[in-house]
Amino acid sequence: MPSPDLAREAERVLRICAACMYCDGLCPVFPALTGKHEHSGAEKIYLANLCHNCRACWHDCQYAPPHPFAVNVPATLAALRRESYADHVWPGALGRGFRRPALGAGIFVGVALAVMLMVLAPHGSWAALHRARPGPGSFYAVAPLGLMMGLAGASAGWAVLSLVISTRRFWRAISGEARLRLSPRALMLAAADIVTLRHLDGGGPGCNETGPRFSQRRRIFHQIMVAGFVLLVAATLAAAFFQHFLGVMPPFAPMSLPVVLGVAGGVAVVVGAAGLLAIEAKPEREPSERGETRLNLVFLVMIEIVVLSGLALLLWRDTAAMGPLLALHLGLVTGFFAAVPASKALHAPFRAAAILRSAAERLSRRRREARNAATFE
């Protein structure tokens, strides 16, 4: 549960917003307040996750400090959002990771080191790793296929399982009292909002990540990073296909499908995450919530490290550095997936769930309006 102070502050702020409604064109958070005198706990965490933190409402707010009402919607909703991650994550013990982001970073580093040691142990020393010969099958000389598959499968499986259960818990919480009708149209609408990150447009002109000036930077860098991630998944699938069905052993040729997809995806992730890091590293202090900024920074740095280690492996795979680099990359990938459930990664499915509820409500409102219009005719 959010702390009583935070819940009270959110209630106070949302009340003022519901009375004002000047921001109703900026994003769906404000129209959802229409006519509401009070907001349940579930309603609040729904709104907190529907908020994309574009900060347009901070710069447009006539009641922002130094006004005595001191309305700060982005920071209030960010704090609530972080609490909602902590309250719904499975297993619950990971909740601490959202109050202290060191937990996620700790899992990442700890698991990465453990895996590196696991890879290293059979070889006896780093020096022995250096002696691994390049060429087809050389990766498996460093770490056997079974070990690699086991580590990747277990860590990715853990991440997916945790995200699925956490998201189910969150969805139950926010959809319980809403009585939603999830039509295919609602799913399409939600998907479109997610792919375009529509709610980062501030109602049209863009985000306000560094001041009253609008910008689409966050939206663009975020989607470059996501596209890169999709390409990396595709590269992995392609690699599996090459190996199992074509019998080609890694490392694959530079112009082969897995490598091309992997390089494109890797570069996109590095560029996208770097752009987001640049924005996140010097946020406007007042509308930012420090805990969320820290979560973002930890997550982005983790992503950069993992993907850079993969690109480094590709670059130097024909040299004596291949063995240590492979051990490093394998460790970091495993550590990353192990840490995902306690990381900012949770924002993706939670926000998607909130967008889905918003889309379903928008459709039912439209249906209602159409019905009313028909009655009057």
Q: Which residues are near other proteins by CB under 8 A? A: 15-16, 18-26, 30-31, 33-37, 56-57, 59-69, 202-205, 212-213
Closest approach of other proteins to the CB of residue 36, in Å: 6
- 187 is written with which tokens? 């799913």
Rounded distance between C-alpha atoms, residue 147 and residue 306, angstroms? 19
- Ramachandran sector of residue 202 (left: φ over 0; alpha: ψ -120 to 50; beta: rest): left
Using the 8-state DSSP alphabet, how is residue 355 labeled? Answer: H
What distances in angstroms separate CA 259 from CA 224, 225, 305, 313, one per listed residue? 19, 18, 19, 12
Nearest to residue 129, comparing CAs of 335, 330, 121, 137?
Answer: 121
Of 70 and 308, nearer to other proteins (C-beta) is: 70
DSSP 340: G
Enumerate residues 6+ apart whose C-beta is below 8 A from 332. 108, 112, 305, 306, 309
How many other CB atoms are there within 10 angstroms of residue 13's CB atom? 20
**Cβ proximity of 134 and 317 under 8 Å:** yes
Q: Measured from the CB atom, is 56 or 342 closer to other proteins?
A: 56
* Residues 6+ positions from 185 with CB-CB distance below 8 Å: 363
Minimum distance from CB of 77 to other proteins (Å)?
17
Q: How far is the CB of 207 from other proteins (least distance, A)?
A: 13
CB of 223 to other proteins, least distance (A): 22
Q: What's the min distance (Å) between Cβ of 46 and other proteins?
A: 17
For other proteins, the closer of residues 216 and 243 by Cβ is: 216
Of 213 and 367, which CB lies nearer to other proteins in the complex structure?
Answer: 213
Q: Which amino acid is at 264?
A: A
Amino acid at 148: M
* Run of H or E including 347: helix 347-376
Q: Say if CB 40 and CB 67 are below 8 A apart.
A: no
Residue whose CB is less far from other proteins, 69 or 316? 69
Contact 272, 232 (CB under 8 A): no
Looking at the Cβ atoms of 68 and 146, the one nearer to other proteins is: 68
| Cα–Cα distance measured from residue 281 to residue 274, given in angstroms and rounded to the nearest whole number | 10
Nearer to other proteins, 116 or 186 (CB): 186
Provide the minimum distance between the beta carbon of 138 and other proteins in the complex, in angstroms, as a whole number: 57
Phi then psi dihedrals of residue 86, to 5 deg: -60, -35
Closest distance to other proteins from the beta carbon of 269 (Å): 33
For the bound state, the minimum distance from the C-beta of residue 99 to other proteins, rounded and expressed in Å, comes to 29
Which residue's CB is nearer to other proteins, number 11 or number 304? 11
- Shortest approach of other proteins to residue 132 CB, angstroms? 59
Closer residue to other proteins in complex, CB, 96/198: 198
